[in-house]
Structure 1
Amino acid sequence: MEALTASSEGPMAGGPMVNSMSTSGNLPDPETEQQNGISADEIALYDRQIRLWGVKAQERIRSAKVLLVTVKAIGAEIAKNLILNGIGSLTIIDNGQVIDNDLGAQYFLRDEDIGLNRAQAASTRLQELNPRVAVIPDISDVTTKGPDFYSSFDMIIATDLPFFSLSLINAAARMAKRPFYATGIHGFYGFIFADLIEHEYIIEREQSNRSTAVTSESTTRSIISVATKKENGKNIELVTKREAYTPIILANSSPLAPEYLKNRRRLKGVTPLLPALRALWDFERNTGRFPTHSREDLVSFTTLANEKLQELQLPVDTLKSDFLRSFMQNVGSEIVPTAAFVGGRLSEDAINVLGKREQPIQNLLLFDGENFQAPIYALHPIFEENGTAQQLPPAPPVDAGTMPQGNVDRPQGVNGGSTVSQNELSTMPSAPVGASQAQETSDHAGAGAATGGVVEANGEIDLS
């Protein structure tokens, strides 16, 4: 999907045309809708999206109060999209200050904002996008907030935070019974995690010859009701579904769904970004930071990456040297294209959730910008009959002591961990340290790529 770039004509520039959607069709009568809270001016402003998803969905979106945590590159993209789609209010909580690196990827900041609070600096320009939406900056520390704070919002979106902070906010959002999203980007890579607790939504489609049964579709999805209506001479089916979700702290240790574990072909197709991201989260949770270029971090991250590979029961050749080289170079950096895609995809999902339409992300989307892939994995714990979560098989020990000796020569300022050998590191080009170096990043794959290579359990890379 393209990033949302809404204008007064509708929510998605270059998106699907009005007549391609099977929705309500004609615009509502302005006088009738004024009684329901939507003015004639708003009908004109949100003309296209009302045609796309109907006035009821727009009413829900219009009254929604959304909390956005941190407003860096991806946060700015999400804020822009939600504001242009006409939510009720957007509270941006960020106690960080604007620094030089923010200017390359966060296009709502300027040179004169350096040293100012990031939420306050961005909010002024975000407000100009749509005066009908209340944009509220909050300069406090989000990790000090309790469930009562989150209960005043209809949705919480946390961006660019350590795994521990994401887990805390997710837990508080669950206690407040509010849908939660987590997202972040690392150069050409990114993720979206959704915990909507329990979410009901409507799929609207043309009725087929076979009737839709009220039944369970999967372990997390059920059809709870089916209704029909006539529209433009066609029979339209409205299928109401319910999705059940898992908090991020459990999803991070959950196995792949049985349809992967029982199918070797599907298992071989799982992206290596899954074990790499889990390893990064564990490293971050253990140390409170991203891995650096030190030998100690190199050994630690390599060990974690191999453990995650084993825990997920993935083939040994899933983690290859060229991918790990690229991932290591990208950790901690921001580039606009990735922020646009991942932020646009999350915004689209959030709008659908607020409007209670279309199937949402279930539950982890991983974006690989190198290969332009964005698979979604449903990660949920498997419970035993006694109600306890089934334990994953223990990973075999990893002999990190067999890593190559010697100092690792990494480009100055690169904030990334390594799972490759010293010889491999010596062939690597400079990695991005901020969005201002996006052009340098775009051609790093060709500058230092090597062919093949599987990461062995001892942390070495076999290039044979």
Structure 2
Amino acid sequence: MSTTITEDEAALYDRQLRLWGVEAQNRMRNSSVLIYSFRGVAAEITKNIVLAGVGNVTLLDEKDVEEQDFGANYFIREEEVGKKRVEASAPRVQALNPRVNLTTRTDASLLADETFLSTFDLVVLTDVDAPTLLRTNALTRKLGKKLYAASSLGMDGWIFADLLQHEFVCDVIKTVNGNEQVKVPTKSTNSYVPFESALKHQWSSLKARELKRTPDSLWGLLSLWAAQQATPDSPISDETLTSVATTFLPTISVKPTLLSASTITRISLTSSLEFPPSCAIIGGVAGQDVLNILGGKEEPVRNLMLFDGTTGAGTVWAVGV
């Protein structure tokens, strides 16, 4: 693509050019992003990055439109049941910004194709289980590609990022001339770890008081990921999640008693469901992060975020680093 922004693009993206500058906008318009699984969270991410002018966006999803998709995915219509989700959604996504090069693919095996993945600057996984995230992250690491994942879990949701060595610029307030405070653009670099390392993070560094204040939905999420590895492609019941939590949590220095029975039940019942308001929050945060990653502006999530739908709070932990 062209390395300079045209006059028409400058007019179209005027407000965001004022926000993050020409260089960041140019990096975004020359970037290629893969988004896998097109449910509610992915719809929100896609909307945000297409409107912002990311140059090349590929949507990969092998699933057909089903009735339960209508609640959270606003790009599809009732009469499109049975069509491929991405193919049904593509015309409405493209209409948001005809300047974006939008591609749809429906062969899920491409997620394991190194040649295919190597063409992207950023791979975004949405609503995937732990085994899928582990396999794909191993490939993105091998290829030197950045990976970002986000998912809804009923009312809750999570984000995980493995951006390798990520360089970004943010404004730091500094004092000059004795007492005058000014914002100075400052370059920083963060190191990220693969999902495999994050799963083994030891929480012993947290004091007992901090552990008690930590939402137990975090221990539920970590136990869910462990259960998905132990029983891949199988529904997670209360009994399975309780059993896995009892054996898994001590391996990461967490007492199983910190995970309540009510949270176990909520996760086992709703982990595969979508709650549109939570999808909007998770997808909104993730979409802005994707723009930050591509544009090199501001610090993205590092590296695990949990949204607790019962309290409305989002908490970020640097795990495994």
Shorter-chain TM-score bucket reads over 0.9
**Is the aligned partner of 1:53 residue 2:17?**
no
SS at match of 1:380: coil
Indicate if the aligned counterparts of 1:148 and 1:176 stay in contact, CA closer than 8 A. no
Indicate if the aligned counterparts of 1:89 and 1:134 stay in contact, CA closer than 8 A. yes
Residue 216 of structure 2 corresponds to 272
| Structure 1 unaligned residues grouped into runs of 5+ | 1-34, 212-232, 382-464
Distance 1:136 1:305, change over 3 A: same
Question: Which string of whole-angstrom CA distances, capped at 9 and with x for unpartnered residues, describes residues 10-66 of structure 1?
Answer: xxxxxxxxxxxxxxxxxxxxxxxxx96211221111111111111111111111110
**Is the aligned partner of 1:352 residue 2:292?**
yes
Question: Which string of whole-angstrom CA distances, capped at 9 and with x for unpartnered residues, describes residues 345-386 of structure 1?
Answer: 0111111111111111111101111111111111117xxxxx
1:168 is displaced (CA, Å) by 1.3
TM-score, with normalisation over the residues of structure 1?
A: 0.65
1:140 is displaced (CA, Å) by 0.8
Indicate if the aligned counterparts of 1:65 and 1:88 stay in contact, CA closer than 8 A. yes
Distance 1:373 1:79, change over 3 A: same
What root-mean-square deviation, in Å, do the aligned CA atoms of Structure 1 and Structure 2 show?
Answer: 2.2
Distance 1:272 1:337, change over 3 A: same
Q: Which amino acid aligns with 2:287?
A: S
Distance 1:257 1:374, change over 3 A: farther
Which range moves more in the overlay, 311-320 or 349-358?
311-320
**Counterparts of 1:326 and 1:137 in 2: how far apart (Å)?**
34
Higher RCO structure, 1 or 2 (CA under 8 Å, sep 6+): 2
Residue 153 of structure 2 corresponds to 186
**Counterparts of 1:379 and 1:315 in 2: how far apart (Å)?**
18
Q: Which amino acid aligns with 2:288?
A: E
Question: Which string of whole-angstrom CA distances, capped at 9 and with x for unpartnered residues, describes residues 160-218 of structure 1?
Answer: 1221111111111112211101111111011000000111111223322599xxxxxxx
| Structure 2 unaligned residues grouped into runs of 5+ | none
**Is the aligned partner of 1:240 residue 2:240?**
no
Residue 457 of structure 1 corresponds to none
**Is the aligned partner of 1:283 residue 2:255?**
no
**Counterparts of 1:193 and 1:210 in 2: how far apart (Å)?**
41
> Aligned to 1:366, which of 303, 306, 310?
306
Distance 1:210 1:177, change over 3 A: farther
SS at match of 1:314: coil
SS at match of 1:157: strand
Q: Which amino acid aligns with 1:250?
A: S
Indicate if the aligned counterparts of 1:57 and 1:355 stay in contact, CA closer than 8 A. yes
Q: How is 1:64-83 mapped onto 2 (pairs within 5 angstroms)?
A: 64-83=31-50
**Is the aligned partner of 1:249 residue 2:196?**
yes
Q: How is 1:206-245 mapped onto 2 (pairs within 5 angstroms)?
A: 206-208=173-175, 235-245=182-192
Question: Which string of whole-angstrom CA distances, capped at 9 and with x for unpartnered residues, describes residues 288-312 of structure 1?
Answer: 23535xxxx4332211122343233
Flag the structure with higher strand content.
2
Identity in percent: 32
Distance 1:298 1:205, change over 3 A: closer
Indicate if the aligned counterparts of 2:220 and 2:263 stay in contact, CA closer than 8 A. no
TM-score, with normalisation over the residues of structure 2?
A: 0.92
**Counterparts of 2:177 and 2:156 in 1: how far apart (Å)?**
41
> Aligned to 1:150, which of 117, 121, 124?
117
**Is the aligned partner of 1:310 residue 2:250?**
yes
SS at match of 1:201: strand
Distance 1:200 1:132, change over 3 A: same
**Counterparts of 2:177 and 2:89 in 1: how far apart (Å)?**
51
* Structure possessing the higher radius of gyration over alpha carbons: 1
**Counterparts of 2:241 and 2:87 in 1: how far apart (Å)?**
36
**Counterparts of 1:92 and 1:149 in 2: how far apart (Å)?**
13
